[in-house]
Structure 1
Amino acid sequence: MINQHGQNRNPEEVQAIANSFNSSNNASFRELILIGPGHAHVLLLRKFGDNPLGNVHVTLISDVEHAAYSGMLPGHISGIYTRDEMMIDLRRLCHFAGARFIHSEARGIDLKRKQILVDFNPPTLTADAVSINVGGTSCVAGVAGAEAWAIPSKPVPELLSGWARVEAAAHSKQSLRIVVVGGGAGGVELALAMHSRLGDNGAFTVIHAGSHLLPGYHPRTRRIAAEVLGIRKVSVITDRRVVEVMPDSVRLDTGKTIAADFVFWAAQAAPPAWLAESGLETTIEGFVRVTPTLQTISHHWIFAAGDVAAIENRRLPKSGVFAVRMAKPLERNLRAYFAGAPLGAYKTQRHSLSLIGTADGRAIASYGPLAGHSALFWRLKDWIDRRFMKQFTGLTR
């Protein structure tokens, strides 16, 4: 049997998972299904390995077998970290947590039957509770040629595949022209990481639709980022939208074209369409509306965390920092839900520390109005990222 990713599935594995669902659906055990391998879910599984969720079978549905830690992704592109150093082995993690792992893409939720639709056998999985922590895809809707020619920054496998093509081209071409669309923290960090790797063999342009880079950050942080980009000779174009991507250029809303051998699309990601199509209450952009307890406002047996979640009356950046912080309240509330106990609210901080690597042995630190750029901040970021990943190494059960 071959899945949607072209990988062979072991028929015995498929049958074993099917049998486990058939045999476990009894009154003594309930089913928790985790959709997506986001940061909140991998931390949740790590906690379940140390302290199992009593009388509950846990299942992770993921379209990848190894999940990339976003904090290390730019460092991997710049050559600081190996692929293995930034990847979490989901099968091993699930084994440690005593959870099932299903390598499949979720297709939707049948809200009436409490079933998850998957590209697997059986095609539906019944749940007592569901948690959603899926990543988005780079939103290129309405931009001519973008699906054919732009390399999305999300999902990660497509970004890494596109970067591999860039590295291959760099060996045969003297200078590559690279355009990064999106001037948020992700786009800036990506451009600097690629620039560090290619050096004089790449000419970079960042195009941002807003009036300034790093929206949501304090002006001090934005000034530092602009200075770093200027020193590295990365061109910046603001207040302009890309309306067409062509094989060798992009066209702006002014009609001007910018030459490009490769285009990376790092503008805001869009959530999977099946969330709204399933009937969940979502924002206009398609993010799942949740209460401060991380339960969806329409179905309290469904939770959501990370980028896909939009907490009512709160505006949070779509950042791995907040996804990581949601893991604890998500764990606490799932335990409370199955125990029939009151659930607590996820409390957000007014300010959070943001560290943007500049791929030169330094990082930009931002905390509210405070900002700086130094090697010390890079060492702090590296220590935080390695400490995060250390939780997922050497797991045995």
Structure 2
Amino acid sequence: MAKHLVLAGGGHAHMEILANLGEFIKLGWRVTGIGPSDYHYYSGMGPGMLGTTYEPDDIRFATRAQVEAQGGTFVRDTIVAVDPQKRCLELASGAQVEYDLVSFNTGSSIRRPEITGDQEKIYTVKPIERLYEAREAISSQADLHPIRVAVIGGGPAGAEISGNLRELLAGSSCPAEVILYAGRRFMGRFPEAVRQKSRRLLGRAGVKIVENGYLQRIDDMHLVFDGTGGEAVDFILLATGVHPSSFFETAGMAVGRDGGLLVNRFLQHVDYPEVFGGGDCISFQERELDKVGVYAVRENPVLLHNLKAIIQGQPLQAFDPGGDYLLIFNLGQGQGVLRKRWLNMSGRLAFKVKDWIDRKFIERFK
């Protein structure tokens, strides 16, 4: 029987592999893609979808169609466990998938606080599809009665989500309040210029930024911070820290400090040479990398090369993360904040640069 390559997840780091899947089949390998949806949503455009700048079809890749069109098999399911000794993946359905070679790009999940009571109006910003669900629910209610929407998280995700919520609610029939609960310091790990430009744009849009502590729990849609409070809201969007899937650590595989699959400079697991990975689900042994899409995109050609190289017995290529990267936040209503080394700028031009880059990326792999 032909050997089996499994692509676990259809994320940003697998785009090049998915586009060139036929090459592996020509080498005599079976190829299976596994993912929770027939589509993969580009996270960089997720906040814009929430704010109605984009529609779902504008920001997603048809993963199943791409795999099957090239002769591969696609399984719509979620990986819940891995057995590296048996080279086997266990899926939520109970099915098991054996592999000879596997690449993980299973992304990350949002950390959730303790929650009691109804959770119907609580949304995590990942998976990205949840933002469209939030958009539909919030916009429908905003035309019926005044609403208060809370965004939890003081980093870039929280900033982008809150700004695009203001865009979503700009035309609502009833008053709507958007409150960004930003921990103790809004955008705390960024230069002061970036923080101030972001704060100014959000304030101008009508976002209220609160820096009075960290969310401890949610009791029946009441927010409790550091053991005090109980502020009632109508909708909650969680944009707090992300973490990789726990199944790597549960399986006894070497992981990084954040629980991500520990890979060497070839994006290959440090103990299992038949295991590769990219994106948010890995921890890069050479140095810690931010959980940003730019690294997943840079990992694309290296993963494609190394999977083919290990099949053909050729030398592997090292991944170079590169230096400082371009960072642009979409803060809604056509406004953005851009940072690259010494350059900091905000306004419509920053958003237009981001929009152009994002659309070119989508166009390249659709």
- TM-score, with normalisation over the residues of structure 1? 0.85
Q: Which amino acid aligns with 2:240?
A: A
SS in 1 for 2:296: helix
The residue correspondences of 1:171-320 to structure 2 (distance < 5 A) are 171-173=143-145, 175-199=146-170, 201-209=175-183, 211-238=184-211, 240-253=213-226, 255-320=228-293
SS in 2 for 1:91: helix
C-alpha separation in 2, matches of 1:324 and 1:50: 20
CA contact (8 A) 2:5 2:31 kept: yes
Post-superposition Cα deviations, 1:48-91, rounded to whole Å, max 9, x if no partner, equal 35786622222100111111111221111111111111121112
From 132, 140, 149, give the equivalent of 1:160.
Answer: 132
* 1:368 Cα offset (Å): 2.5
SS in 1 for 2:150: strand
Post-superposition Cα deviations, 1:148-169, rounded to whole Å, max 9, x if no partner, equal 3631111223333233221221
C-alpha separation in 1, matches of 2:245 and 2:356: 33
Q: Which amino acid aligns with 2:156?
A: A
Q: Which amino acid aligns with 1:177?
A: R
C-alpha separation in 1, matches of 2:221 and 2:349: 40
Q: Which amino acid aligns with 1:360?
A: Q
SS in 1 for 2:67: helix
* 1:235 Cα offset (Å): 1.6
C-alpha separation in 2, matches of 1:244 and 1:146: 11
Mean CA deviation greater in 272-281 or 182-191: 272-281
C-alpha separation in 2, matches of 1:157 and 1:233: 25
Mean CA deviation greater in 45-54 or 380-389: 45-54
Post-superposition Cα deviations, 1:203-260, rounded to whole Å, max 9, x if no partner, equal 1111123x43334432211111111122223121235111121334201115133331
CA contact (8 A) 2:117 2:220 kept: no
C-alpha separation in 1, matches of 2:240 and 2:22: 36
From 89, 101, 112, give the equivalent of 1:140.
Answer: 112
Post-superposition Cα deviations, 1:241-282, rounded to whole Å, max 9, x if no partner, equal 111213342011151333311111100122222222122212
SS in 1 for 2:20: helix
From 318, 321, 324, give the equivalent of 1:345.
Answer: 318
C-alpha separation in 2, matches of 1:320 and 1:244: 29
Residue 57 (structure 2) pairs with residue 79 (structure 1): no
Q: Which amino acid aligns with 2:204?
A: I
Shift in alpha-carbon separation, 1:253–1:333, aligned structure 2, 3 A: same
C-alpha separation in 2, matches of 1:51 and 1:113: 22
C-alpha separation in 2, matches of 1:325 and 1:202: 40
In structure 1, the residue matched to 2:302 is 329
Unaligned runs of 5+ in 1: 1-25
Aligned length: 362
* 1:110 Cα offset (Å): 1.6
C-alpha separation in 1, matches of 2:348 and 2:139: 27
In structure 2, the residue matched to 1:361 is 334
Q: List, as ranges, runs of 4+ consecutive aligned residues in structure 1 with deviation greater than 4 Å.
A: 49-53
Unaligned runs of 5+ in 2: none
Residue 63 (structure 2) pairs with residue 99 (structure 1): no
In structure 2, the residue matched to 1:19 is none
* 1:309 Cα offset (Å): 0.8
In structure 2, the residue matched to 1:15 is none
In structure 2, the residue matched to 1:5 is none
C-alpha separation in 2, matches of 1:112 and 1:204: 49
Residue 122 (structure 2) pairs with residue 150 (structure 1): yes
CA contact (8 A) 1:220 1:369 kept: no
The residue correspondences of 1:14-33 to structure 2 (distance < 5 A) are 26=1, 29-33=2-6
Post-superposition Cα deviations, 1:286-338, rounded to whole Å, max 9, x if no partner, equal 21111121111221211110011110141211112221111111111111111
Sequence identity (%): 24
C-alpha separation in 2, matches of 1:367 and 1:322: 15
CA contact (8 A) 2:46 2:131 kept: no
C-alpha separation in 2, matches of 1:215 and 1:292: 30
C-alpha separation in 2, matches of 1:349 and 1:202: 43
CA contact (8 A) 1:354 1:367 kept: yes
Shift in alpha-carbon separation, 1:263–1:120, aligned structure 2, 3 A: closer
Residue 364 (structure 2) pairs with residue 391 (structure 1): yes
What's the RMSD between the two structures over aligned residues? Answer: 2.1
* 1:359 Cα offset (Å): 1.4
SS in 2 for 1:352: coil
Shift in alpha-carbon separation, 1:359–1:344, aligned structure 2, 3 A: same
The residue correspondences of 1:57-136 to structure 2 (distance < 5 A) are 57-119=30-92, 123-136=95-108
CA contact (8 A) 1:93 1:392 kept: no
Shift in alpha-carbon separation, 1:238–1:165, aligned structure 2, 3 A: same
SS in 2 for 1:326: helix
* 1:369 Cα offset (Å): 3.3
